[in-house]
Structure 1
Amino acid sequence: MWLRKQSVRTGFLLFYFLFPTISEGCCGQKQRRTIADQQLNRYKVVEGEAFMMPCDTSMEFPMKWFKADKGKECGKEFVAEVEDCGAYRSLAGSNLTLHVINRTSLRCFQHSESSAMLLVGEGGLIRCPGYTCYNNTGVVWYKKNKAVSAQRRTSCENEGQLRLCTVYKEDRGVYYCDRQISEQGIPWTFRRAVNVTVVPHLNASSSPQLKYPSANMTEEVELGQPHTLMCEVMFDFEVNISRKVQWFMNHDGDVENTTPLHMEPPQEKQVMLQTIEVTQKSIIKEVTPQHLKHTYTCFAGNVIGNNSVTIKLQNKIRARWTSLIGYPVACFVLVAGLGIILHIKWLELQLIYRSHFQFGKHKEGEKEFDVFVSYVWTVPSAEVANGLARFSKPYSDAEEGCLSTVKMQSSEEPIEMLLPQVLEDRWGYRVCLLERDILPGGAYTNDVVLTINRSRMLICVLSAEYFASDNAVFVLESGVKALLQTSALKMLLVWTGGTSPSFIQPEPPLPKLVQKALKVLPSLQWSTDVSSTAVGSFWISLRKAMPVQASRLASHLERS
């Protein structure tokens, strides 16, 4: 593949060498184009001038030339030095010889030939340095590694000169003129560089404009501290620079009695092609009361005219009591912020404390029920009536106090059916169910409140149907209120059917007290789609959350 590419390149070079083409040039006139695409890999350059290593356009990756362990990438400009002389080789196998010539060895050298200045919007001429000093076989002009004749612009090359029909600001940069010379029968490409600058005009057309400071301005200073006087001025571009900025001190405000101030070197920045911004600074090392009596003038001028602005200094009053006032204010803001947060989160903090860290003691026979279970059926009543929970073995405590894993034969039985059976039949707790243990005919609200007060623990089995039931939500709300009033009651939430504290709010929305309680109360998650190990873990966690049974509590009280 590499030999095929080399043969193709060689064919193209022979074609351009034997059949030079004709192109449009010289702003509409026809000129014979020299062999622009032929690149001999022997270059002579002048020390101190810009140079750019040639590139092989057939390469699919950036080309790099190496000499020993040092490399130079093609397409990047650098200043040629004597140590750059030598033979280079690319990774593709191409060779290049670079010879850097000392300026003193040239037949003729004029420093002015290495630069050119062109006006925007007009025609421009760039001359090839030293063209008349050598026997030339033609000149090819390049900008970077692309021939100017191949670029989309109106130009022509004639007798070592490059003529640009219309100059644009993009034309600035380094141009290279390549001449083919022969020394002792060896062909060389003699490359000279011309640094081209593009200017909008030669002379300024307006006087300078002061950007900062403004007239009659007062700057605050601190006694005993340094202060910088800064003046920013906008100037028109000009080739022969006449712009100047100077700071003066007017004694006692008298503009007739002035003293030039010591200034830092000016900082210049070209804002646009036709505008130069100059920043001039003068530093007062230590401000004294005497400085406050004087005024200060920034003077800016050029060949067109001048402008000036005068300012004065004013002592800055330092706030001595800032710390004495700031610290109490900051403390007040901090305490007030904490108070607001505590006020907003007070209910959640109470529920967390009462449900996790504070537990009351019960006397034997004080509570009629161990657990009050509140739920709403999520399956048809026929299935509930006929469904029975079957267990592989009864629930029991090991001698070490660990709970054995509960394995159910049917995973389709609802938790509303399993929970009362496990608590009552397997674990021996006194369970209260509204539909079973509360006599009908009474007031529902009174029965719920009374039952909660007669129970040691309230378990709410939460589901979408539960939140849709006003009676069930009332039980949950009553339990939260009872928890806030007494430390003896425990509450536990069992989430079912994929519900969680982030469930969608039902219509109408839940009471605020219930919404906050759902976020902080102890809870367990029940799902029939999990493995038997996870189901067993649910029952173990439930057993740990249950209150001590009445018999054990009585014996414990007797021992204490």
Structure 2
Amino acid sequence: SFLVKVLLIPPLQLDCCCRSNSTLQVIAKTSLRCFEPEESSVMLLAHIEGRIPCPGHACYNNTGVVWYKKNRLVSIARESCVEDGELHLCTVYREDTGVFYCDRRITEQGVAWVFRRAVHVKVIPFTEANSPPVVKYPAANMTEEVELGQPHNLSCEVDFDFEVNISRKVEWFMNYGGDMDNMTLVDTERHEEVFFSDIKVTQTYTIKEVTPQHLKHAYTCLAGNTVGNNNVTIKLKEKEQVIIFSTIVDNKMNCLVGVPIRNLGIILHVKWVELQLIFRSRFQFGKDDEEKEFDVFVSYVWTGPSAEAVEMQSREEPIEMRLTRVLEDQWGYRVCLLERDILPGGAYTNDVVLTINRSRMLICVLSAKYFASSNAVFVLESGVKALLQNSALKMLLIWTRGTSASFIQPEPPLPKLVQRALKVLPSLQWSTDAPSTTARSFWISLQKAMPADGARPASRVQ
């Protein structure tokens, strides 16, 4: 490493506009007496006097020291003086932060040199924090609203005093069941904004997917420095949509809420997604003018014996087989079955979405095997998403073999949207052990739920 030497021979002559000559030599740093690193820095407190030493000043017989900042003489730019080589600032200002240069005239081996050294100056308001951190957000004991199944960020915004020896810290803890003695540190991300006299820290804990379990816990933001600590604890609650129904509510709305509320004004606290599904699945707010290729798309997972076994044993025909036969042969609907009517070789997800868009209605025959099939669950979830986007689509769930929404606990768990939809979508219950009157009632209810136009005159289902 060189300061500037490898003696240039012949010496380089630099001609300036004034035609004065200077000799430039490059010399190794270690060849200098009192060798010091070229980097030098100093911290000065604002609003009092300060001194900036010139590095290596005592090593030579100096004939004078001149100080510069940004190529301007400090003695001209501001009130100052030089005492024994040090720059003495009568009052230090915030704007004094920057690089200062000291030029010294030294004599080495009979040659007069101008030797320049740089000093990095940083002006600080104080060396130690004067007060504990202040948590600006969240407020103590507040509650944040969240949506189940969605990500959520918990942010803690804290103001710290400036300090030289950094001691500030911000951490998020999860308190299981709200127990303050059962706290676990969670992973977070930090963002800092540094100002002259304070530092603003934002510490964020990201919940990738909010579950009902998160609503049972409390969350504590702890901030501290050498002076003291502060903490804030908050909880989460599910976001609710308040819908106000006033004046007269007709018979359809009575069926919707399940209680007689005619001529009453009520406030329903319901989840927004469920509310949308209830309205869109039970009321047609508009007609779909686009001609559909299919009247109904039937989705099921085969759970019964083979068709040949059914015929040989003369047993009751499984609903998966009988439903399609009744819809097509007796009622005249155009039915779509993925395994029968969709050409193989395409992407399954695209085929499902396109088939739903080409159908007026989606019927899902639900069973334990249906919920264990990821492909079948995808059909159901795609239908729910389509229903939320298209008020003309109809959906119907047919529960079989003793299954019901309250007993479905598949592994892995169903998507949150599907779990919500199972509770509110129109449904029918089918059982092979039901009396004939119950079976007849099932077919009558199914026929009423089907699209009104497009089918041939209905024949009686035996």
Structure-2-length-normalised TM-score: 0.46
Larger Rg: 1
